[in-house]
Amino acid sequence: MLDAELIESSLTDPESFAALFDRYSAMLYRYVSRRLGPETAEDVVGETFLAAFGGRHRYDLSRPDARPWLFGIATKLIARHHRTEAARYRALLRSPVDGPAEGPAERVAAGVTASAVRPALAAALAALPRDRDVLLLVAWGDLAYEQVADALGVPVGTVRSRLHRARRKVRAALGDTNPMHEEE
């Protein structure tokens, strides 16, 4: 059943809304946890679904995929926790770099390189208050540009320009390199 059909069904059968929770709660939890930490993520995900349930009568049923709507709600709730998110990035900046996990040599080398740039990445993310949502909805939320536009209520062109600006700033903060690409 499409998300829009579930939402429409929930207007007369509220318990059918639980299928959306089952479908998307883990995805939203991963996204929010990366932004605010696991200690806050569970509450924000719960608040997201509570707000979605309360506003389900306003959902545009012509949109079959509810992910952008749910990520938009979560992003607005994250904004309320902005201080927590900024503190998390500052803590990442100060925290020691974890050692690589056991595994094939390529994964270990990539992990070492990525871990080494973690403080710079945390600082770059902390410096992106306006463009951070777009960047993280694409990178961590795995949303397409159009879905990010729906989630944030902005035009697709705005998403593209904010994403370009955010990527440029993060790349510059990392010394114009991508730590996930090994240099020969």
pLDDT of 113 reads 45
Is 92 part of any domain? Answer: no
Looking at residue 183, its pLDDT comes to 45
Residue 26 lies in a domain: yes
Report if residue 97 sits inside a domain: no
Q: Give pLDDT, residue 97.
A: 54
- Residue 139, Cβ density class (10 Å: 0-12 exposed, 13-18 middle, ≥19 buried): middle
Whether 40 is covered by a domain: the verdict is yes
What average pLDDT does range 97-104 have in this prediction? 50
Question: How much is the pLDDT for 108?
Answer: 45
Q: Is the pLDDT of residue 180 over 70?
A: no
Give per-residue pLDDT as tens, 34-83: 988 888 899 999 999 999 999 999 999 999 999 999 999 999 998 887 66
37 to 82, 140, 175: CA distances (angstroms): 12, 13, 27
Domain membership flag for residue 90: no
Mean pLDDT of the chain: 82
- Tally of domains in the chain: 2
| 0.75 exceeded by pTM | no
Share of the chain above pLDDT 70, in %: 77
Q: Is the pLDDT of residue 184 over 80?
A: no
Residue at 71 is within a domain:
yes
Domain that holds residue 122: 102-184
Which of these three, 80, 110, 126, is where a domain ends? 80
Tens-digit pLDDT profile for residues 115-147: 566 677 777 787 787 788 899 899 888 899 999
CATH number of the domain that residue 51 is part of: 1.10.1740.10
Output the CA torsion 138→143→149→152 (10° steps): -80
Q: Classify residue 107 as left (phi > 0), alpha (psi -120 to 50) or beta.
A: alpha
- The pLDDT of residue 16 is above 90: yes
pLDDT at residue 178 tops 80: no
- Residue-level pLDDT at 146: 93
108 with 180, same domain?
Answer: yes
- Enter the tokens of residue 37: 């930490």
